[in-house]
Homo-oligomer: A and B are copies of this chain.
Amino acid sequence: MSARIELKEKVLAENDRLADDLRQEFRAAGIVALNLVSSPGSGKTSLLERTLKALNNRLRIALVAGDVQTENDARRLQAAGGKIVRSVITGGACHLDAKMITEAVSTIDLSVIDLLLIENVGNLVCPSSYDLGEDMKVVVISTTEGDDKPLKYPAMFRRSGAMVINKTDLLGLSDFELSKVITNARAINSALKMFQISCRTGDGLPEWYDWLAALVKNKKAET
């Protein structure tokens, strides 16, 4: 085994250990934690803005927004009504890791929130390897990307529990075929929960909101 692979495995093992601690902390607090992953530009921040506006009165939501540079996303989420928003600038790293989340979460009183939404760095590769202690990864893709993305980035779709297909208002304006992306995603992960939405028109979003609310309700029932 090369020194490079050995070190990568060590880094991932250390990350997994911190992620397990986070998961226990989230479970003890009875909160649902989701890790949103996607390409740059698929609309994670827009989805979170809509989610905040729709659910801020029903759920107590905290957000951690990761970015390579800038606090643009965190600022957008605050403007959209986010009460507890933390920005993590990775400073060049192409993914969030459990250490960054541990630091961000240490500044949040978990006893007063129901739902933690983590917006990862826009990247379909590396974030798939880094467990952040989340209940589930949610992969967001948009209809303006290629419909073969699940086949080209299989690890991300395999390790996600849900897939949100955004920008359905632009269907028909490119070669993207909805049926193809669904077939390709199912081939990689047959259990993937799917949503078809447009953050621009609002289409399909109520189903997403209800699903989030149900996740929180089920978690409360468990604890």
* Copies of this chain, count: 2
Which of the four size classes fits the interface of chain A?
A: 35 or more
A40 vs B145: C-alpha distance in the bound complex, in angstroms? 7
Annotate A123-137 by CB proximity to B: 1 below 8 A, 0 otherwise: 111100000000000
A112 contacts chain B at the CB level, 8 A cutoff: no
Contact B7 A4 (CB under 8 A): yes
A206 contacts chain B at the CB level, 8 A cutoff: no
Nearest neighbor of A141 in chain B, beta-carbon distance: B41
Contact B122 A39 (CB under 8 A): yes
Contact A67 B167 (CB under 8 A): no
Contact A41 B123 (CB under 8 A): no
Contact A153 B92 (CB under 8 A): no
> Could you say which of B68, B144, B151, B200 contacts A153, with CB atoms under 8 Å apart?
B68
Contact A41 B94 (CB under 8 A): no
A70 contacts chain B at the CB level, 8 A cutoff: yes
A130-173 interface (Cβ within 8 A of B)? 141-142, 144-146, 148-149, 151-155, 167, 169-170, 173
Minimum Cβ distance to chain B for residue A172 (Å)? 11
> Could you say which of B39, B121, B124, B200 contacts A174, with CB atoms under 8 Å apart?
B200
Annotate A19-55 by CB proximity to B: 1 below 8 A, 0 otherwise: 0000000000000000000011110010000000000
A13 contacts chain B at the CB level, 8 A cutoff: no
17 A-B pairs whose Cβ atoms sit less than 8 Å apart in the complex:
A4-B11, A39-B40, A39-B122, A40-B124, A41-B144, A41-B149, A68-B153, A68-B155, A94-B94, A94-B123, A126-B126, A142-B144, A167-B174, A169-B173, A170-B170, A170-B173, A173-B173
Binding site for B on A (CB under 8 A): 3-4, 7, 11, 39-42, 45, 67-70, 72, 92-94, 121-126, 141-142, 144-146, 148-149, 151-155, 167, 169-170, 173-174, 200
